[in-house]
Amino acid sequence: MDDVTRRTLLAATAAGGLLTAATAAGAQTSEPIPQPQRPGHGGTDPGPRNLARDRQNPDLLVPPATDHGTLPNLRFSFSDSHVRQESGGWTRQITVRELGISKNIAGVNMRLNAGGVRELHWHKAAEWAYMLYGSARITAIDPQGRNFVDDVGVGDLWYFPSGVPHSIQGLNPDGCEFLLVFDDGDFDEDNTFLLSDWFKHTPNEVLSKNFGMPGSTFDHIPDPGELYIFAAPVPGSLDADKIAGATPVAQSFSHRMLAQQPIKTKSGTVRITDTSVFPASKTIAAALVEVEPGGMREMHWHPNTDEWQYYIDGQARMGVFAASGQARTFDFQAGDVGYVPFAMGHYIENTGTTTLRFLEIFKSSYYADVSLNQWLALTPPELVKAHLKLDAQALAGLHKEKFPVVPG
């Protein structure tokens, strides 16, 4: 212990308390140190503690008085995930192992450098993707031997059904970053069917017979794991990669989500993408939600399946109601994943000073939600009054139309 630290501790002890490292760190800034207390409840936390985490999660440290019960964790950050680094980029994932409640959906965050290739492969699970940055070229064929190749940019989607072989490659000038969503919470990005892996584990005489080529043709297949995400030359034009004479797939595997006309309110927008506008996406439906500062994704629930969320920009808090007196509140920042189990009521509030953007994702062919406000407005007023003791003005203020984003 150095002299400065010793003098600091001695001075604090003489004053009647131990000045912890967390307190000392907070004292060097103008930002007050958050404490797990509210009037009449809780107390201070002398430490040890992680002040950065406490500041990021104020509604875990000091939950609203309305929180109650033992709801499981409904939040996990990609920043807490292991990063697998390869020659062509990196990848990290959130599956049921990281977020135990997420049985139906797993997510992968991947970065490909310019030219970086996600090796030709396929999965047991279907793959849905949202482009976060840059541009990429994607390729695939379907079981009928129909061909697909396209370039995608920020806000674009793709969907590859289970078993469909495909690839992804970063383009100029700086490759790409994207979110992958799989319709199985037990999915593991490390357990995909890789092209080089199969070749390496097949006898050369079998490869020779299959392709009608000498066995020596396959003497230099890379070892398993060498490729996966690997560096390669940036491809040329899209037209140059289209296969002459190939039949295109019947339904495009890509979709321009940002080109959709959004549902607009005074405080935000919602774009909904399911099979009604993206026919290929049979098992994943999604909504891109934008909420202005002070606004809120209204109190609602989903009557068909669980909700998996990915936060793109801004700050938010989500309150979840689980029936039987159970409710819990969570805080989110960019790169976080949230989860709402089937049919649980919830809201998502913009707690920052910039636009909040996040994805609502569902293992379903269609999007559906039920608005609390609309339900009450379309229920006989006297029945609502008997439940909530609302006056005539409040009853008249309920909305018969759905407003997915409401103002502060």
The letter for the amino acid at 129 is: A
Q: What is the per-residue pLDDT for 29?
A: 61
Is the pLDDT reported for residue 123 higher than 60? yes
- Cα torsion angle, 306, 310, 314, 316, sign: positive
68 annotated ligand-binding residue: no
Shared-domain flag, residues 137 and 191: yes
Number of domains within the chain: 3
Is the pLDDT reported for residue 26 higher than 70? no
Q: Read off the pLDDT of residues 345-366 as tens digits, 9 standing for 90 and up.
A: 999 999 999 999 999 999 999 9
d(CA 219, CA 213): 12
- Other CB atoms within 10 Å distance of the CB of residue 163: 13
Shared-domain flag, residues 96 and 158: yes
127 annotated ligand-binding residue: yes
Shared-domain flag, residues 200 and 274: no
Measured between alpha carbons, how far apart are the two ends of the chain, in Å?
A: 50
Give me the mean pLDDT over the 374-388 stretch. 98
Q: Read off the pLDDT of residues 97-118 as tens digits, 9 standing for 90 and up.
A: 999 999 999 999 999 999 999 9
Give me the mean pLDDT over the 310-320 stretch. 98
Residue found by looking up tokens 């037209």 in the block: 239
Q: Which of 86, 189, 360, 382 is catalytic?
A: 360
Is residue 64 a part of any domain in this protein? no
pTM of the model: 0.91
Is residue 69 a part of any domain in this protein? no
Give me the mean pLDDT over the 32-38 stretch. 94
**Peptide linkage before 380 cis (omega within 30 of 0):** no
Shared-domain flag, residues 231 and 92: yes
- Other CB atoms within 10 Å distance of the CB of residue 48: 8
290 annotated ligand-binding residue: no
302 annotated ligand-binding residue: yes
d(CA 77, CA 234): 31
Active site residue 98: no
d(CA 21, CA 25): 6
Looking at residue 187, which CATH number applies to its domain? 2.60.120.10
Q: Read off the pLDDT of residues 241-261 as tens digits, 9 standing for 90 and up.
A: 999 999 999 999 999 999 999
84's tokens: 């697998």
Is residue 80 a part of any domain in this protein? no
* Alpha helix segments (H runs only) across 282-391: 372-377, 381-388
- Other CB atoms within 10 Å distance of the CB of residue 61: 18
Give me the mean pLDDT over the 296-314 stretch. 98
Give me the mean pLDDT over the 120-136 stretch. 98
220 annotated ligand-binding residue: no
255 annotated ligand-binding residue: no
Shared-domain flag, residues 128 and 232: yes
For residue 316, what are the domain limits? Answer: 260-406
- pLDDT bucket at 22, cuts 50 / 70 / 90: very low
